[in-house]
Amino acid sequence: MRDREMTAPPPTPPTSTFVRPAIGLLAGIGVSLLVIAIGTVIAGVFTLRGPDALTTAFPAGYVWGKLVAATVGAFAGGFTTSRITAGRSMYTSLVLALILFVAAGGPALRGIAAFPNDPTWFPLTLAAVELLAVLAGALLERRMDGAGAAR
């Protein structure tokens, strides 16, 4: 009996209610930005050629590559945030979706071109796609978590 008491792990100290959502949000942003950066670089390596590649209109392959990278990155970020904040509300995932939405669509709404070589439709499309991808990633994780808990 005494041996069992000695080998039991000590109780974990209680954490504040905002620590897990904050960590989840930061992790979601980090995962999103990492995947988007890697995907954008890969799209650029395969589609941008020549010394004037960054001064002329971007080729369609590069634009679509950036859009796919942003979609996958936002999905992964939403999934990560939802995984870390499992058992809590979707509020943190919604905040991540809004952060990415404003980051992509804010300059377009103010009339500032973030990248003047992008097509005019790209910034708002990017904002909408990232918003939906974060929510889709979060919802998929919640469904998987719910299915695992039902077993």
Secondary element (H or E) of residue 111:
none
Token pair of 148, please? 């695992």
Residue among 145, 128, 141, 151 at smallest CA distance from 80: 141
pTM of the model: 0.83
pLDDT range class, residue 15, cuts 50, 70, 90: low
* Domain segments of the chain as ranges: 23-46+56-145
109-150: per-residue pLDDT in tens?
Answer: 887 777 778 888 898 999 999 999 999 999 999 898 777 665
At 20 the pLDDT is 86
For Cα atoms 107, 131, 83, give the angle at the middle one, nearest 5 degrees: 130
